[in-house]
Amino acid sequence: MTLARRSLVLLFPLALGCATTPASRPAAVETPTPTPPQAQRVPHEGTLHGAKLVDDYFWLRQKDAPGVVSYLKAENAYTDAMTKSSAPFQETLYQEMLGRIQETDVSVPFRDRGYFYFSRLEKGKQYPILCRRPTAGAAADDRTGATATAPEEILIDANQIAKTNKFVSVGARQISDDQQHLAYSLDLTGFRQYTLHFKDLRSGAVAAEEIPRVDSVAWAADGRTVFYVVEDETAKRPYRLYRHTLGADPKADALVYEEKDEGFVINVDRTRSRGYLLLTSASSTTSEVRYLRAAEPTGAWQVIAPRQHDHEYYVDNRGDRFYIRTNAPAVAGGDKARNFRLVTAPVSSPGRANWKELIAHRDDVMLEDVELFADHAVLHERFDALPRVRILPISDGGAGAAEEIKMPETLFALFGDANAEFSTSSYRFHYQSPVTPDSVYDYDTRTRALTLRKRMPVLGGYDPSHYETARVHAVAADGTSIPISLVYRKGLAAGAAHPNPMLLYGYGSYGISIPLTFSSNRVSLLDRGVVWALAHIRGGGDLGKKWHEQGRMATKMNTFTDFIACGEELVKEGWTAPDRLVIEGGSAGGLLMGAVTNLRPDLWKAVVAEVPFVDVINTMLDETLPLTVGEFEEWGNPKKKDEFDVMIKYSPYDNVAAKRYPAMLVKTSYNDSQVMYWEPAKWVAKLRALKTDRNPLLLRINMEPAGHGGQSGRYNQLHENAFLYSFILSQLGVAR
């Protein structure tokens, strides 16, 4: 391959000035195209199941090695040079996005044990300020804090922490029962490794004791005892539960439980009833729950039901009963309740023999979560690739008929809010859609009245009536119907004389459903005529547990062929065309991008892969890396030949070939703990060495403290979005 073949055309052509008459025109000066860095090829050979595996860029795993750092910086310099002429357009996009945000704002406060809790944003500050105010003076039925007159108390101001740290992420935030102490955790590197701190809310002093690598936290009822889970030092697996007494030396903390199975992680939590602490051990397919009375912190933890392979269950408490969401069959030996059902059991004897069914399993409805309150339960369900919420009245005698909270649009997203109070007839949730900004509602479970508390302001003249949504379907290779959700500016349609520019997003892993949320940033795409689409492909959880099962392990290829079918359908129906179609995905969605780019490079104009998991075989062979062992049940274990044979067929890094590829933007963070930086770096290096086109291939690496989600701070994130959108819009030919 010649050097010329590796050279890339300018992504954003330079605007050359010209004089008013030919006589005065100077001689043309050709601006040189930046030369991409070429990673050194150092073969690293191995053999697995008789197959020879050669990795020419294995050396990029040597984090902090001078040669690695210099190469990554060279990639950033190349990307900067290639996108330098887009700086004015990036600034235009940034100002557009910033102009839609109400920079000084406050959240709707929620009540909890004598306080209103809320967060504030101040113009010019990167982070929200977490606050509370005593409910003294507030009306008994005031759920917004509007009548509260007591002074504000600041719990955490990340802006102060950011004065000496370039990255700040607040993790756990738990307040003791006596309201006098705050346990909170901070990540200051982007590696998602949090350190636990304690703050005296009377004096404002932060205690001297600090506990590293803390994943989850829960207070006992005495206000002095804290249970916390720590990660191991290499694979970041939450595996040990400790008991800590406030003010004591953490080195003396008692080890309460250690999860020995490397395929499981643990989490500690407190029930909303505040009666019990729960310790959940879970893998991708199996779980086990232990419980302890919150008033007896030194007591013995008890098991609800011993773990059994392929049995998942999750627990909450109301009074003298546990409520259990389970996928166990209702009848011994019967079909697995893979979409889950709801049962109850007495606290005194919660074993499976005493489980009593409240909500039966349904093949077409996924029971995703259950929130318990004193006299009702909130059922979070998923049906037809959409969420729904139903209120289930409950009493000591059983349960009544569940009532669905009706939503005003056909495509939308729902999320529960804090809802900290156990005894209440009000349920607060967030509603939004691709055209409706985030809206906070209170639903009265007795009167069924729905009250809008706040809708996120979108400045700059945004009008939701100018946009609309649609749902179309593609047909997969095996005949399965795959939903696709669309949002666009009114006036656009399929089958127009000129196909629409489109951004198609996908994920399709872990049974996760990507919600149809609102994005004020996305308006910058929609107002330029771009159709935004979300492919609800298998591997996700959009149509229940079966959707996940049909896109994992041996059936993982369905995820990629589903996405291709979506792209083909959108082209066939005239929504877009291959030269007007950009695709985007991150993390496991980045794996999707890599796989479909290898399979159908001709179908996409450009590809955006963010923190992409693309080096599947090498990563899943390294059990010291975060997530590897726990994800054997999602991707497979390449040490097993039958699973290796599936994985090697789609692993993006292993399937790069000498052929034409679309334009590509690859983003990562040097300190990412979920997908190590070297995966996208190796992938880009291999693509550069083999691809036969001159399309742009850009790698952007956050070398400053940043994590899986990029930089922290809302203004930093706006700048990152502006860079991303400038690439997308340029490739779509609507950069203006």
Residue whose entry in the numeric block shows the structure tokens 């946009």? 467
Residue whose entry in the numeric block shows the structure tokens 């550069």? 688
> Would you call 249 a catalytic residue per the annotation?
no
Q: Please return the burial class of 367, using the count of CB atoms within 10 Å of its CB with bins 0-12, 13-18 and 19+.
A: buried
CA dist., res. 97 & res. 99, Å (int): 5
Report how far apart, in Å, the C-alpha atoms of 314 and of each of 21, 165, 283, 325 are.
77, 38, 12, 5
CA dist., res. 634 & res. 639, Å (int): 15
Q: Which H or E run contains 734?
A: none
Assign 526 to helix, strand or coil.
helix
DSSP string, 661-682: --EEEEEEETT-SSS-THHHHH
The answer to whether the Cα torsion of 212, 216, 220, 221 is positive or negative is positive
Q: Pick the catalytic residue: 380, 672, 673, 730?
A: 672
Q: Pick the catalytic residue: 284, 587, 673, 726?
A: 587
Considering only CA atoms, which of 523, 544, 542 is closest in space to residue 532? Answer: 523
First to last CA, the chain: 36
Residue whose entry in the numeric block shows the structure tokens 């039901």? 305
**Structure tokens belonging to residue 65:** 């090695």
Considering only CA atoms, which of 625, 679, 552 is closest in space to residue 262? Answer: 625
Assign 194 to helix, strand or coil.
coil
CA dist., res. 605 & res. 270, Å (int): 49
Contact 550, 561 (CB under 8 A): no
Report how far apart, in Å, the C-alpha atoms of 251 and of each of 212, 242, 577 are.
11, 10, 62
Task: Give CB contacts under 8 A, 24+ apart, made by 642-650.
Answer: 642/554, 643/553, 643/554, 644/48, 644/49, 644/617, 645/49, 646/553, 646/554, 646/556, 646/557, 647/556, 647/616, 647/617, 647/620, 648/51, 648/617, 649/557, 650/556, 650/557, 650/560, 650/595, 650/616
Contact 424, 397 (CB under 8 A): no
CA dist., res. 539 & res. 507, Å (int): 8
Q: What is the largest CA-CA distance in the chain?
A: 97
Contact 617, 53 (CB under 8 A): yes
> Would you call 587 a catalytic residue per the annotation?
yes
> Would you call 719 a catalytic residue per the annotation?
no
CA dist., res. 508 & res. 312, Å (int): 21
Cα dihedral: 216, 218, 223, 225 (round 10): -70
Contact 653, 614 (CB under 8 A): yes
| Alpha-carbon 284 to chain mean position | 17
Q: Pick the catalytic residue: 708, 719, 726, 730?
A: 708
Question: Which residues are part of the catalytic machinery?
Answer: 587, 672, 708
